[in-house]
Structures are given as C-alpha cells and as structure tokens.
Structure 1
C-alpha cells in the first residue's frame, strides 16, 4: 500500500555537517531533485504500459461479450487505438526530455510534461482496461485472464496516487504554463 503525508517542521536545527548545499537554500534543491524525479520516475512508464496494452489486446482478440467478438466491437477498438496513439506520444515526449538532458539542458518544465502525460495516461489505460474487462474484473479466480484482471484493478487504484506524488497534475500544469509557455501567474 502507498501513502502520502504532509510533515510540518518548526524551529528545526540542522548541524552544519548535515546541510545539503547552502543554508536556507533547501527549497530550490528540492525543486531540482523533483525535476529529476518527475522525468526519471516516469521515463520508462510507456514501456510497461505498452505491455499492459498488448495483453489487453490479446484478451480482446480472444474474448466475446454477448455473443460478439470483442475485437469487432468498434467502441473497444477505438478505446484501444486511442491508448496506442497516446503511448507513442508519451514515448516521443520522453525522448525529447532525454535528448535535452543529454545535451546538458534543464528540463524544468519538460519534466512536468513527462510526469503529467505519463501519469494521466496510466489512469486512462487502467480505466480502459477495466471497461474492456467488464465487471468480472473484480472476481478472483483461476481463469486464464485472472492476472490481467488483478493487474488492471491494481493499476486503477495505484495510478491515482501517482498524479499526486512529486506534485499534482494541477501543479505540473502551472509549471508548464509559467516556465514552458511564459504565461503570467493568474
């Protein structure tokens, strides 16, 4: 289980030997670390999500609903195709950020793009998975697809937390607007 907490410290004394960087310059250091976390924590998510999509497509190719092959259901096909497009976009966003890092450039707002897109794509993929797998996704059993059902149930709940970790999607959008688009603060 994952948990998120807020901690407030007042009148804390840190020995000089334990300081990271300059005194009273901790917040900029935290922001720099978050910039890296936002990228490195998400840069490979598209690969795992692509594998999840491939297994979901395999399920669709082998399953029926109300006597109809799922692979012939246009709504299901459209949902899966949309996720496939978004996975490719996610991969390209990651490549751009990695290229900038490789050049030695800052990715102060690009890391927010990577994080926001990857985290929200994870939510959309999990939602599509649950829709395609149907209500039986909640059932435990020894069917061929039990592990897929279990994984999408987990992803549905887990991915919600990822949009909070390292800064909410709303905070990321503010960063993108201010740093990436040079829009004024509202």
Structure 2
C-alpha cells in the first residue's frame, strides 16, 4: 500500500471493511446476481457501519473523512466480483447523496441525507434520457412551475437503483429555451403519483436494478428544487469529476483483482511439466498488464489527492475514466485468456468480470464523449469552471 496517501488508520479501515464484506456481502452475491435484487437488509448494515457517511458531515451522521477512505471502499467493493452490487452502493453514496449534500437545503439534508447515511433510504440520480445519452444539454424532461409546486414530465434511462430506490434526484429543464442553461435539479419521492419504472435486462451488472423511468405529470413541492433554478447543468458538470474518478478507481481495482486471480491460477495450473507462469510469453504479458494497472492506480491516487484538497480536476478525472476503463477491459480480457477454457466458465470469476467491466467505457460519459471533452480542453483551451 502506498504510504504517500494511506496512513495506519486507512490500513485498519481496509482490513475492517474486508472482514465486513467477506461476512455480510460475499455469501449473498450469487443470489443477488441471479435475482437482480439486492436484499434491503444489507443497506442498513452498511449504514450501521458508517460506510455511507465516510465523507459526509458529522452533523448529518457522517464521518467527515478524507477521500482516500472512499478509495478504499471502492477498491474493496470491486473484489466481491459483482459490478452490479458495487454500482448500487456507490451510485447511492456518490451520485444521489452528493447532490443532497451539495445542493439540498437544511430540510432536505435532515429528511433525506441523514436517513441515506443510515441506510434507511436509497437514492438514485436521473440524468440520462432515452434520446439523449451523454448529451446532457439535449434532455427533454421538463419541470413547469405552477404556484407552489412543479410538474415534471419526461423519461430517464440507464438509471442505477432506478427501480427500488426511495427517492430520485432528477434533472429537468425549467427553461427549455435556454438550452443547457435552463436545467434544474429536483428531489422526487418514489411514491408520488405518475412515476413508473421498468427494470432493464443487461449484459452485466446483473445484481443492480438499472431502470427506465417515466414521469407523467408528477407533482412535487417547489421546496424540492435543489440549489438555484437553471443552475442544474453547472451542478452536474461539477459532480461529474467525482463520478469519473470513481469509475477510474473502480476500473483499476477490478483490473488488479483480475490480475491477482490470474496469477494465483497460473501458479497452480501445470502444462508440459511446469506451472504456466513459467512460460515466457505469458510472463511478459503479465509484466505489461501489471505496468498498465500500476500507472492507472498511481495516476488515480494523485487525482484523488488533488480533489481532496479542493482542486477542480475535471481534466484529470476525465483522463482517469478514459484510460483506466480501457486498461481494465484489456487486462480482464487477457486474464480470461490465461485461464483458457476455465475463463469461459461461470464457475470462475473472469466471465462476470468481463461482462461487468464492459460498462466502464460507456457509463458516466462514453469514451468518445470524454475524448471530445479532453480535446476541447487541450486543443481549444476551453475552461470548465465550478458552479458558483
């Protein structure tokens, strides 16, 4: 472990988390993968342990710890070999709850952030739309103000926790004529009339409830506007840095998990009178893959350090997701090959790892979109600034 970033307290936290996941999560993973439903009890156990409040204020039940505790949580979640379970957890904590903490008023924080930290309420973030994809500015969902409430109409898709969550953080256009400058963020309770959700059938992330959500004249109180009206696009862009870094960290962690598993397998698998980790072609391939993973990990830690200091790291976080997810796909593909026929079997972890990893270059902004963002920064000198 890199002592530049991790203290003795971090190390102890990691060991405690590993023991918790082994006891409380791993025995249930196969069931959740098969049913596509994560039992509710585990959310409460995470909350009781304080894992949902790692980097949230003490006033709302959080622990107010540095971001490297978050990195540990993300890394260890990848080792349970269920991208869907890991996604359900971090989508709640670092997508939905991030907006509650950043844009929610005191009432929202008391009524939603507090129970979210405790594991009593689960949230989801609703931005992507069926016709918009990564084009946030092109969203069609609207929120029209009428007296002391808003009426929301539209649809969202590919929403993690989109079916079983208790509340939704929804981006909608309050001033469509202003384009991306007319987007606002709202808190919407699940049980309000006019909301319907359909679970999507996915290649990977099978344990999570990824949903398509429709809003049909959904009436919410005006007090559930989060932050200022028409500043939603700035809020979304600001939080994308954390989301992209999270996906970059997830990627290096699952790649490292795949490598560790492959190395163990190769040390035990014999062919032509020796273990297959003695064959030069395989050894050199391992060396290249391990180098790529280590580069990603070191870069991601450095970006985390800067973000923890309050720096605006939109460029670096975008690079993190772009590079790390690509490396993870390549590493896991090759590690499956190292296992030969066993890599193709569902009784071994690589098949699921391969499926789950493939979402990395798609979710949270496709690699193609990320390259264009970086091109604008590097070539066109475009500056992305935090919301004020």
TM-score by length of 1: 0.80
Superposed CA deviations along residues 35-77 of structure 1, whole A, max 9, x for unmatched, are 1111134335434432331221121122134555311222211
Tell me, which stretches of 5 or more residues in structure 2 are unaligned? 1-35, 37-83, 85-127, 131-138, 145-149, 151-220, 383-388
1:73 corresponds to: 279
1:162 corresponds to: 360
Structure number with greater CO (CA < 8 Å, separation at least 6) is 1
Whole-Å separation in 2 of the counterparts to 1:102 and 1:12? 34
In the TM superposition, residue 94 of structure 1 has moved relative to its aligned partner by 1.1
2:288 corresponds to: 82
Q: 160, 166, 176: which one pairs with 2:374?
A: 176
Query: Greater CA deviation, 59-68 or 106-115?
Result: 59-68
- Please give the secondary structure, in 2, of the residue aligned with 1:43: helix
Whole-Å separation in 2 of the counterparts to 1:126 and 1:103? 33
Whole-Å separation in 1 of the counterparts to 2:230 and 2:239? 16
Query: Greater CA deviation, 117-126 or 40-49?
Result: 40-49
1:6 corresponds to: 129
**What does residue range 40-59 of structure 1 map to in structure 2 within 5 Å?**
40-43=246-249, 45-59=251-265
C-alpha spacing 1:20/1:124, structure 2 compared with 1 (3 Å): same
C-alpha spacing 1:97/1:11, structure 2 compared with 1 (3 Å): closer
- Please give the secondary structure, in 2, of the residue aligned with 1:84: helix
1:152 corresponds to: 350
Is 2:305 aligned against 1:99? yes
Q: 299, 324, 327: which one pairs with 1:121?
A: 327
Q: In 1, are the aligned partners of 2:252 and 2:293 still within 8 Å (CA)?
A: yes
Q: In 2, are the aligned partners of 1:110 and 1:176 still within 8 Å (CA)?
A: no
Q: What is the number of equivalent residue pairs in this alignment?
A: 174
Superposed CA deviations along residues 99-126 of structure 1, whole A, max 9, x for unmatched, are 2213321011111111112211221121
In the TM superposition, residue 158 of structure 1 has moved relative to its aligned partner by 0.9
1:143 corresponds to: none
TM-score by length of 2: 0.41
